Structure 1
Amino acid sequence: MNKQYIMLDDGNKISYMTYGKGKKVVLFFHGLVGGSYISKDWKKEIEAKNITLIAIERSGYGNSSKIKMKNVSQWIPIAKQIAKQLKLSKVDLVGCSAGAPYAYATASALEEIVEKVYILGGVPSAYKDSVLKHYDTSNQEAYKSFMTKPMNEIQEYYKEQLNDFKKYLKKDEDDYIEKTIDENLKQDCFGISQECKLQIENWGMCLSEIKQPIFLHHAVNDEMVPYEAAKEMTNYLQNCSFEEIHINGDKVHISSISKAFLQILNVIGYNVSNR
């Protein structure tokens, strides 16, 4: 499966991969250490449904250009160009973890195209005091440090973290994690580092103006994005519902996202087949 490209008006490019050949189109926004590669389990479920999933690689991820952004709202004109070039008509959005802000921005950009928005373990608007207060002190300080810390310092930190992680990564036939890490390292962790800064900066858009139904799915004991911080988003979105995910064990954040993703594929696939 090969990557495809969208050439933007300014000469930059956005890369993506497509899974499935179904009637319903879903735009997928990956997490912080992410890209367009997905697991074999996800591929299998997508192909079994009447769904086409387009996994978008954001600025500085995968093979996308390193586009400097001042806030998340600068994704809006990019989303419009993506929709135009892909000739999209009706789509649903899925935003995982750090992909959540970009799902919101895309919904805002494409009011006539986007039907529903699914947020899985989504990063909330941490620039709001009412949200940030639900993080522990160390994470609040880390977030605030991203506002002033130079990009190159953040990049060096994540490069070190990913290189260390690779040492303990078990070799597996399903090597999407290794491919994702390698691509982030090849990009000097630009995408990861820029998003760390953008999460804590004012996103530059009015969340309450998003009209589409938004379905928030979040684990009660999420170890990365506090449950109460995520639930705070219901105060800023006019048309949303919140579903608790109960899951135990290690890596609750990742496991809960995968669980919710497989569930919503069933919902989307069912809705398509019954139209």
Structure 2
Amino acid sequence: MAEGTLTLPDGRTIAWMDYNDFPEDTKQPTLFYFHGFPGSRLEGDLVAPTAKGHSTRVISMDRPGMGLSTFQPNRTVLDWPKDVLAVADHLRIQKFYVLGCSGGSPYALACVHAISRDRLLGASVVAGLYPAGLGTAGMTMGNRVLLWTASSEWIGGWTGPLMDMMIGRVARDYDHPDRLKEWFIKEMKSKPAPDAACVEDEWTTERIVEATRESFRQGGEGVALDIKLIAKDWGFELQDLNTDGLGMYLWHGGQDVNVPLAMAEKAAKLMGGVELKVLEEEAHLSASLKHQDEILTALLGGMT
């Protein structure tokens, strides 16, 4: 595992974690992992052990304004593929796969939209958040309010202060680091049983807590812009995505209340050419954590 940064032509810094257990293997597959919301490059810790079993290199990037990546005030979802390609070129990675979890889903789909097939080999979305226009029935009230606030032209400016008040201040309370962990555990215990059970694993809990803490390193501005972009128009339509010749999978828990299964089902129908894998007994976080081997096996085309 190594940490990397790159200064882009516009002067911004983009940061990532590089999980490469087989540096001598020049033919190993590479997976670009896109963290959830809120999240950071440290979230790659969660998938790296499974990827190692598939002899796969993982690059987990901070989105602008989170972790060590410079805030980009006027960015769009479709700016992300350019950053991905810049990092790939810097690391001399010609072909790669992408995996977006939860709030990372718009960015994985943006790569499907914008990156040529001679570079992008496959894409998967796990517990993905899709356009709010597909309907939010079954979603927790907190998430519905957050999406509504973030998408509003009138009160969208409150998103940053709200996120910082709810999580950011606790995340940056380095004198009392356990406060964020306590908040996270309490939050998860209010979720369906499969998600609540996830915090019983100490290693997993610590990884998620630290990835969340890192997302607020620079304050709440980057996190706030991220959810605003997720909640608004992404700059492309799901039905216009070209999935021809691309192995593409959507994985979703049947008990997910962060993003209801109905959203994923509607998204799959709009996209076409994708395979929706429903994990009936899983919720939001548990779908991402408990089925990594299946997810990577499908994405990598059976490569182990």
- The interval holding the TM-score normalised by the smaller chain is 0.7 to 0.9
Amino acid at match of 2:227: C
1:51 aligns with 2:56: yes
Deviation at 1:258, TM superposition (A): 1.2
Name the CA distance, whole Å, in 2 between partners of 1:44 and 1:67.
31
CA contact (8 A) 1:118 1:216 kept: yes
Name the CA distance, whole Å, in 1 between partners of 2:145 and 2:214.
29
Counterpart position of 2:188: none
Which of these residues, 245, 248, 260, is aligned with residue 279 of structure 2?
A: 245
Deviation at 1:11, TM superposition (A): 0.7
Name the CA distance, whole Å, in 2 between partners of 1:40 and 1:123.
21
5 Å-filtered alignment, 1:54-65, equals 54-65=59-70
CA contact (8 A) 2:78 2:235 kept: yes
1:188 aligns with 2:219: yes
Counterpart position of 1:159: 168
Query: Residue 145 and residue 42 in structure 1: after superposition, are their counterparts in 2 closer, same or farther (change >3 A)?
Result: closer
Name the CA distance, whole Å, in 2 between partners of 1:195 and 1:52.
26
Counterpart position of 1:209: 241
Counterpart position of 2:189: none
5 Å-filtered alignment, 1:1-275, equals 1-20=1-20, 21=22, 23-38=28-43, 42-111=47-116, 112-126=118-132, 128=133, 130-132=134-136, 135=139, 139-147=143-151, 148-150=155-157, 151-157=159-165, 158-160=167-169, 162=171, 164-167=179-182, 175-207=206-238, 208-211=240-243, 212-247=246-281, 252-268=283-299, 271-273=302-304
Helix, strand or coil: the match of 1:50? coil
Cα RMSD, aligned residues only: 2.7
Query: Which stretch has the larger CA shift, 166-175 or 6-15?
Result: 166-175
Query: Residue 69 and residue 133 in structure 1: after superposition, are their counterparts in 2 closer, same or farther (change >3 A)?
Result: farther
Query: Residue 254 and residue 106 in structure 1: after superposition, are their counterparts in 2 closer, same or farther (change >3 A)?
Result: same
Amino acid at match of 1:131: G
Deviation at 1:161, TM superposition (A): 6.2
Counterpart position of 2:176: none
Name the CA distance, whole Å, in 1 between partners of 2:295 and 2:73.
33
TM-score of the superposed pair, with normalisation by structure 2: 0.77
Once the two structures are superposed, residues 74-117 of structure 1 have per-residue CA deviations (whole angstroms, 9 ceiling, x without a partner) of 22332332332232222111110000000111222212211111
CA contact (8 A) 1:6 1:13 kept: yes
CA contact (8 A) 2:40 2:211 kept: yes
Name the CA distance, whole Å, in 2 between partners of 1:131 and 1:39.
30
Helix, strand or coil: the match of 1:203? coil
Name the CA distance, whole Å, in 2 between partners of 1:124 and 1:117.
15
Helix, strand or coil: the match of 1:176? helix
Name the CA distance, whole Å, in 1 between partners of 2:301 and 2:18.
20
Name the CA distance, whole Å, in 2 between partners of 1:29 and 1:178.
17
Q: What 5-or-longer segments of structure 1 have no aligned partner?
A: none
Count of aligned pairs: 268
Amino acid at match of 2:181: K
CA contact (8 A) 1:50 1:269 kept: no
CA contact (8 A) 1:124 1:131 kept: no
Helix, strand or coil: the match of 1:186? coil
CA contact (8 A) 1:155 1:188 kept: no
TM-score of the superposed pair, with normalisation by structure 1: 0.85
Counterpart position of 2:192: none
Amino acid at match of 2:149: S
CA contact (8 A) 2:100 2:124 kept: yes
Query: Residue 41 and residue 13 in structure 1: after superposition, are their counterparts in 2 closer, same or farther (change >3 A)?
Result: closer
CA contact (8 A) 2:96 2:120 kept: yes
Query: Residue 48 and residue 214 in structure 1: after superposition, are their counterparts in 2 closer, same or farther (change >3 A)?
Result: closer
Identical-residue share of aligned pairs (%): 20
Query: Which stretch has the larger CA shift, 26-35 or 206-215?
Result: 206-215
